[in-house]
Chains A and B, each alone.
Chain A
Amino acid sequence: MKRTFLGEFEEIVLLTVAILGEEAYGVTVTQELEQKTGRAVGFSSIHTTLQRLEEKGFLSSKMGGATAERGGRRKRFFEVTALGRRALMEVKQVREELWGALPPDTLQLMGG
């Protein structure tokens, strides 16, 4: 089986979607990401990443109902799929293993 690969930005977006739960769509993901990471992200790159994640099967999406505040245009809500959750777990596990393997001295040096 092809090993799933998540890019760094993809991982963050996927995590953000998971954090936002039912309220994850383009605008919320962007704003959450900006608040949490402090980095300014282009709107189009968020959209692109969301789409790419959906294509890879980590996210699923559905159109929401019509909304008054944006001229009646509907929102596309995203949700993390089982595959997405597993991918996140895998990434976390890899990280924790890597962190666990780190000699305590090195960490202190870095922290210093």
Chain B
Amino acid sequence: MKTQPPILADKLLKWFCAPHLLENIQGDLHEEFEYQVKRIGVRRARWRYWWEILGFMKPRYIKRKPTQYPTTYSYSPDMLQNYFKIAVRNLLKNRTFSLINITGLAIGLVCCLAIGLYVWDEYQYDRAVPQFEQTYRVTERQKQATGLYDIAVTPGPLAPALKNDFPEITETVRVGAWSGLLQYQQTAVEPEAMRVVDPSFLSFFGFKLLKGNPQTVLSSPDEIVISEAVAERFFGKDWRAQFILGKTIHYNQERPLRLSGIVENAPARSHLQFDVLLPFKYFELNDKWSYNWGSNNYHTYLKIRPDNDVAAFGQKLAGQLKNYDKGNETPLLLQPLRDIHLYSDFDFGTDWGKHGDIRYVRIFIIVGLIVLLIALFNFINLSTARATQRAREVGVRKSVGALRSSLIAQFWGESLLMTSLALGVGLLLLQLLMPFFNELSGKVMAVPFQQPLFGAFMVGLLLFISFLTGLYPAFYLSSFRPVSVLKGIFDKKSGAGFRKTLVVTQFVMSIVLIIGTVGLYRQLQFIQNKKLGFDKEQLLYVRLKGDTRQKAMTLKELLTKQSSIASVSATTSTLVNMQNTSYIEWDGKTPKNEFLITQMNVDADFLKTTGMTLAAGRNFSPAIASDTSDKFGTYLINETAARRMGWTPQKALGKKVNFWGLDGKIVGVLRDFHFRPMNVKIEPFIVRFRPKEFYFNLLIKTRPTQTQRALADIARIYKKIEPNQLFSYGFVNEDLGRQYAIEQRTGQLLLCFSILTILIACLGLFGLATFTAEQRIKEIGIRKVMGASIASITTLLSKDFIKLVLIANGIAFPLAYYGLNHWLEDFEYRIGIEWWVFVVAGITAIGISFLTVSFQAIKAALMNPVKSLKTE
């Protein structure tokens, strides 16, 4: 046997020696080795061999010969041009796929961007306020018998007291809500959001004063500042050109106020909404609730010094209330301004103004990501499915010297191109759809094309998405081995498992969204149709203002006579979201079972007008003298109130209670009715009968189908009695519906998005089905020749996909159940999650995907086998 030189040494030589020198050097060495073996023996020859090889470790032998031919740089303009050309050709060659890919991605991007804008907008609230980060609102956590309640209002004297005692505070402002009628000469306006504020209000929140002196405005008692919008209503469109400062505006027809300024309209992105500002000074002088520690009427805002530790300040502040108001253990809390818009959840309607809800923002973020993911999956699926068509190209490129890295770059570049197209189409669509989206979301937004930040974000998004979409195709396609793909040995099923996983994920997400939307809509239906305990149909209210209150009874009598009106009742509330609460005393009350009770004052026609029923006892009657006595009251309570006081409805009758300092007895118990939104339990309620006190509304029940006539009648009579007052009215039904505006809006948006997700997912499925049908075209041809029916071929092609959707159903159901359940827990009165919702969602998903797939399958099955089998 021939002795071999040491293999390791040979390997070493091969590694370091330049390839063009290697052959003859190694040859010489081997020859020499054989000669030496004969001369000095194997062992020494081997040593020598090692020694010789080490001798070749010189730059001369290591240095590689520069190649004779110039290598083409992978990113040279020529190559880039080639990549681009190939990409465009591929796009045009597979028009259907390109269209599906780009449309799907564009729709996904539109949804995602729209949601992004929405969420961005929600987070932009109040950012314009100077020292935004240092601004806080003081809130209270009140302890009551039924639990802890967060309220956003604080006593009027709190702000100056805190400012005085804490050097950390730089600025404070109080904001209270008020209402009333304003009149200038013949024009009367009822502002929607009248606010009572300190002089520091404008500078504190950075609102601009358009007319007037910002230094002195709102500092004397009889001033008024109005917004641009109100100014326009009083003085016409050209108010800017007129000298309007100093004009007298009457408040509730009695108090003259001097117009001292015009403020800009409240910004849309501000939790503070106002159209009229009144000076706090006046209320401080005239309204005892404003300087009383015992009543909470004002939002207190403060700014602290930037270098202060907020947590430490918060702790000092917490127990401060008892230092001002003896025995008041209620803790004070700080709510950062940044949280006010999205994280406010206060009880008893103490937080007026504009609010978002972080839960819905979160739902939207999730939905946006889902839509985007589904679109991305489509893209990835279709690109990998079509990989077979690109395999030859990869083979050729590799054999003429393309490196894997340049192939990866090429495919990444292609997805960048596709994504750019999709993003372009998406932005165009977004711009077109913006008015529609604004209507849906109730916001005023525009695509911020001019903002550099938006541009940067778009570029980032583009790169990120093309990175994601290109990731799998780039690595998958570039991994092909040129020898096998060029020979045509190619596993056509490769990547199928991955694609199936993506399809299942897509449908899981779509089905979850469908179930979520159906559940949300059913809950909305439920709360809007739930029996409230009174008849809200054909029920409208007319507001009584100023003087009209005294004439309420006259008005009521006149109205009752109209044939279009069934009955009229004077009340203090409109039955919508009533929150006027107080404590009540009764026999057998202990501090432990104390509770707050919501009250309203009505007249004897209340039950008739609202259709409420009694569980026990009798209605009020003007005929019974004791019912209207000044010394002694009569009350109706609801069942919940009776239960809380420890009585059955029957036992409650005749029991003595003391409410608002007036002793009285219970003459009847009302069946429970909903006077708050459905996410709140029915609480105790008391109905008073005090005809001598003011009423604020007339509740009017019109006769069926006579609503329009009734409105005309009311307007006519109102005008006769109150020529100076505006006639303002509303439908109880509509106001009740408005309480669920956020839910309705979310429902609509979710509906849109879930339809879109299903659409995008089906688009992907359609693409995949087309692809499969194309691939199996010969098989189908042969099957047809052998006598397969169209139905059997359709089934053959569809069943794989339907299987995936079925699996997706199985995964989606528990997820959807969990999510929906979680959301429904917020509602005190809610639907059960029923099995048929799942069945409907499942069948919908299967049905739609079957339609999508079978369209292609039938098309393939109908094809003439002669055509598909003729050519090879």
Interface residues of chain A, those whose CB is within 8 Å of chain B, are 25-27, 30-31, 42-45, 47-48, 51, 63, 67, 69-71, 73-76
Contact = CB atoms under 8 A, between A and B. Distances in A.
B451 interface: no
A13 B29 CA distance: 18
Given A27-B32, A31-B35, A42-B52, A47 B27 contact: no
B67 interface: no
Given A27-B32, A73-B27, 5 more contacts: A26-B25, A27-B28, A45-B55, A73-B24, A75-B28
Contact of B24 (A26, A30, A42, A48): A26
19 contacts: A26-B24, A26-B25, A26-B32, A27-B28, A27-B31, A31-B35, A43-B28, A43-B52, A43-B55, A44-B56, A44-B58, A47-B28, A48-B60, A63-B24, A70-B28, A70-B31, A71-B30, A74-B27, A75-B24
User: Which 7 A/B pairs are nearest by Cβ-Cβ distance?
Assistant: A73-B27, A44-B55, A26-B28, A76-B24, A70-B27, A43-B52, A70-B30
Nearest to B27: A73
Interface of B: 23-32, 34-35, 52, 55-56, 58, 60-61
Nearest to A67: B27
Nearest to B51: A42
Nearest to A46: B28
A71 B61 CA distance: 21
A73 B30 CA distance: 9
A25 B23 CA distance: 13
B655 to A, nearest CB: 116
B60 A71 contact: no
B35 A27 contact: yes
B129 to A, nearest CB: 81
A31 B27 CA distance: 15
B51 to A, nearest CB: 8
A39 to B, nearest CB: 15
Contacts of B31: 27, 69-70
A30 B24 CA distance: 14
Nearest to B24: A76
A74 B24 contact: yes
Nearest to A31: B35
Contacts of B25: 26, 47
A30 B27 contact: no
Nearest to B23: A73
A48 B27 CA distance: 16
Nearest to A77: B24
A45 B57 CA distance: 11
Nearest to A52: B60
B26 A73 contact: yes
Contact of A30 (B30, B32, B58): B32
A51 B60 contact: yes
A75 B55 CA distance: 20
Q: Which of B23, B25, B32 has the most CB of A within 10 A?
A: B23
Contacts of B61: 44, 47
Contacts of B60: 48, 51
A60 to B, nearest CB: 15
Given A27-B32, A43-B32, A51-B60, A71 B27 contact: yes
A63 B35 CA distance: 22
B19 to A, nearest CB: 13
